[in-house]
Copies of this chain bind each other. A is one copy, B any other.
Amino acid sequence: MQTFILSALCGCVALAFAYFLAIGIAKIKVTNAKMEEISNYIHQGAMAFLKREYKYLAVFIVILFIILSLAIDIFTAIAFVVGAIFSILAGYFGMQVATKANVRTAEAAKEGENPALKIAFSGGAVMGMCVVGLGVLGLSLLYILFNGKVIYLTGFGLGASSIALFARVGGGIYTKAADVGADLVGKVEAGIPEDDPRNPAVIADNVGDNVGDVAGMGADLFESYVGSLISAITLGTSLFSGKEGVTFPITLAMIGIIASIVGAIIARNSKGSNPQKSLNMGTYISGILTIIGTAVLSKVVFNDFKAFIAVASGLIVGLAIGKITEMYTSADYKSVKKIAAQSETGAATNIISGLSIGMLSTVFPIILIAIGILVAYFSMDGASDSTMGLYGIALSAIGMLSTTGLTVAVDAYGPIADNAGGIAEMSHMPKEVRQVTDKLDSVGNTTAAVAKGFAIGSAALTALALFASYAQAVDLKSIDILNPVTLSGVFIGGLLPFLFGALTMQSVGKAANQMVEEVRRQFKEIKGIMEEEAKPEYGKCVEISTAAALKEMLLPGILAIVIPILVGVLLGVEALAGLLAGAVVTGVLMAIMMANAGGAWDNAKKYIEGGAMGGKGSNSHKAAVVGDTVGDPFKDTSGPAMNILIKLMTIVALVFAPVLAQIGGVLLKLI
C-alpha cells in the first residue's frame, strides 16, 4: 500500500512539473495584436469543440455508469467514471496549454530557433506529464480506495478507453474534414496558399491540429498507458503470494515518470544546433535511465533480471518500430523517393506505389512485435508457467510505454509548432519567423510519424496484455482455433478493422464535403474576402467540423463497444477471444499500413515541393497532391482509430468478463 501512496505522489510530481511548465508559457507576453486575435480564434474553436464533446460524453458516461452498476458492480462503475474524468482532464489541460503555447512559440521564433523550440516543447510536455501524472495518480488512488481489489481497476481502463474513442476518432474526423475541406477549395479552387487568413476553414484547420494531434494522441496513449498497467497489476496479483507482482509495474511507472521529467528538462534546455538532436537527446537519456532503473528494480524485487529482460524487450521494440517508421516515411530514405518518382507517370502510379509501400512497411514492425512477445514470454519462464509468461508480455507493454510522458511531449510539440507557423503566416510576420517555425514543423512531421508507430506498437502490446487478462478472467486455459466457434470469432474480429476503416474514411469524406460547400458559399456570398476587406466567418467552419466529428463518431464508437458484447453473449467467451485476436492482428496491420502510406505520401509531396521531379506546380506535384489527400484520412483518422478499436474491444471484454462467463454463448446452447 505504501508503494501506491508513493506512486500517487509521483503522479503529483508529474502534474506539478506540468504546472510549472504551463506557468512558464503563460508568462510570455504576446506583443502582436493580430497574432493574439488569431490565437484566440484557435483557442476558442478548440474549447468550443471540447465543450460540445463533453456534453455528449456526459450522456455517455451516465448511461454506461448505470449499465456497469447493474451488470457488473458499483465499484467498477465508479472506477469507470474516474477513468473517464481523468482522461478528460488530461485532454483539457493539454489543449488549454497547447493553444496558448502556439502563439507564444511564434512570438519566441522572433528571437530564434532555440527559444521557440523551448516553448513548443514545453507546451507538448504539459500534455505528456498530464497523461502519465493523471494515469498513475488515478490508478493509485483507486487501488488505495478499493484496498487492493484490483478487479475494479478495469473500470478505470474502460473509462480511459471510452474517452480515447471520442477524442481519437472524433478528433481524427474533425481535423481531416477541416484540412481536406480547406485544401480542396482554398488551394485548388481559389488558388490561395496554405494558412491564408482569407480561407474560412483556416481556423478550423488549425483547431484540428490541436484536437487531433494533441488531445487525440494524448488520449490514445493515456489509454495504452493505464491499460498496460492494469493488465500487469491484475495478472501480478493472482500470480504472486506477496505483493511483488503489483509493486514491480507501479514502481516501473514511477521510474519512467522520473526519467521522462529528466529527459524533458534536457530536451527543453539543450542548446544544440538542431531541434531534432535536442529531442532525440532527451528521448535517449530517458530511455537509458529507465533501462538502468529497471535493472536495479528487477534485481531488488524479484532477485533476478528476468523481469528486466521483459521490460527491455518492449522498450527496444518500441524504439525500433519508431526508427522503421521513420525509414518508410521520411524523404531521407528510398521509399518516399520512389513514390515521388512514380508521381511522374501520374496519380495512379503514385497511389499504387504508396499503397504497396504501406503494405511492405508492415513486415518488420510485425516481426519485431512477434519477437518481443516471444522474448517477454520466455524470459518470465512462460515455458513452464504460461500465466507468468503472459505477465511478461504485460511488462513488456509497460516497458514500451514507460517513457510515455516524453513520447507525448515530443509528439504534441509538432502541432504546436505547426500552429505557430500558421499564426505567423496569418498575421503576416516577417519571413524569418516563418522560417524558424517551418524548421520546427518539419522536425515535428518526423516525430509525429515516429509517435504514430509507437502508438501502434504500444496499442498492440497493451491489447495483447489485456487479452491475456481477459482469458484469465473468463478462465480460458486455451483458445483453440481448431474450434470453429473460435475460428469464426477470428474471422469476424479480422474484418472489424476493415469495417472501422471504411466507416471513418467515409465520415471524413462526408464531413469534408460539407466543409467544401460552406467555404464555397462564403467565397461567393461574403464580398471582399479575397481583398481582405471582409472577414470570413471562421466560426461557421469550426461549427461544421465540430458537429460532423461528433455525429460521425457515434456509429463506429457504438460498434466498438456493442460487437464484442454481442459476440460474447451469442457465441460465447471463446468466440470473443477469437474475435479479439483477429481484430488485434488485422488492426495492427491496417494501422501500420495506413499510417505509413499516409506519412510517405505526405513527405513525397513535400519532397517534390522541395524541387524534385519538376517541383511545385509540375504534373508530378499534382499527382503527389492526390496521394497526400488520400493519405490524410489514412494517417490521421482511420489508421489511429485502429489503435483505439483494438484496445477498447479488449477492455470491454475484460470488464464484461464476469457476465459473459455466466451467460455467454446463448446461440450455441440452442444447438
Contacts and interface: CB of A to CB of B under 8 A. Distances in A.
Given A348-B625, A352-B509, A369-B491, 15 more contacts: A356-B501, A356-B503, A360-B502, A362-B495, A362-B498, A370-B488, A370-B491, A370-B492, A374-B488, A377-B484, A386-B482, A386-B483, A389-B484, A471-B482, A495-B589
A360 B342 CA distance: 28
Nearest to A509: B352
A355 interface: yes
A585 B494 contact: yes
Given A482-B390, A495-B362, A490 B671 contact: no
B356 A505 contact: yes
Nearest to A387: B482
A378 interface: yes
Interface string A199-226: 0000000000000000000000000000
A260 interface: no
23 contacts: A188-B346, A345-B513, A346-B626, A347-B347, A348-B626, A349-B629, A352-B508, A355-B630, A356-B505, A356-B506, A358-B502, A359-B498, A359-B502, A360-B498, A366-B495, A378-B671, A386-B483, A393-B484, A477-B482, A478-B482, A479-B480, A481-B481, A490-B581
A668 B623 CA distance: 49
Interface in A9-59: none
Interface in A373-398: 373-374, 377-378, 382-383, 386, 389-390, 393
A668 to B, nearest CB: 8
A555 interface: no
Contacts of A501: 356, 359
B382 A484 contact: yes
Contacts of A485: 374
A100 to B, nearest CB: 34
Nearest to A480: B478
A492 B625 CA distance: 33
Of A348, A464, A476, A516, chain B has the most CB atoms within 10 Å of the CB of A348
Contacts of A89: none
B499 A349 contact: no
Contacts of A568: none
Interface of A: 184, 188, 342, 345-349, 351-353, 355-360, 362-363, 366-367, 369-371, 373-374, 377-378, 382-383, 386, 389-390, 393, 464, 468, 471, 476-485, 487-488, 490-492, 494-495, 498-499, 501-503, 505-506, 508-509, 513, 516, 577-578, 581-582, 585-586, 588-589, 593, 625-626, 629-630, 633, 671
Contacts of A479: 480-482
Q: How many copies does the complex hold?
A: 2
A634 B273 CA distance: 46
Is chain A's binding surface mostly helix, strand, loop or mixed? helix
Nearest to A367: B492
A506 B349 CA distance: 10
Contacts of A377: 484
Given A506-B356, A513-B345, A351 B626 contact: yes
A347 B389 CA distance: 49
Contacts of A588: 491
A671 B379 CA distance: 10
Nearest to A493: B585
A509 B389 contact: no
A349 B508 CA distance: 10
Q: Lowest 4 A-B CB distances belong to which pairs?
A: A348-B629, A359-B502, A370-B488, A478-B480
B355 A481 contact: no
A352 to B, nearest CB: 6
A478 B585 CA distance: 20
Contacts of A393: 484
B356 A593 contact: no
Contact of A630 (B351, B482, B581): B351
A387 to B, nearest CB: 10
Contacts of A348: 625-626, 629-630
Contact of A494 (B342, B487, B589): B589
A34 to B, nearest CB: 33
B370 A581 contact: no
Nearest to A389: B484
A391 B308 CA distance: 47
A354 to B, nearest CB: 10
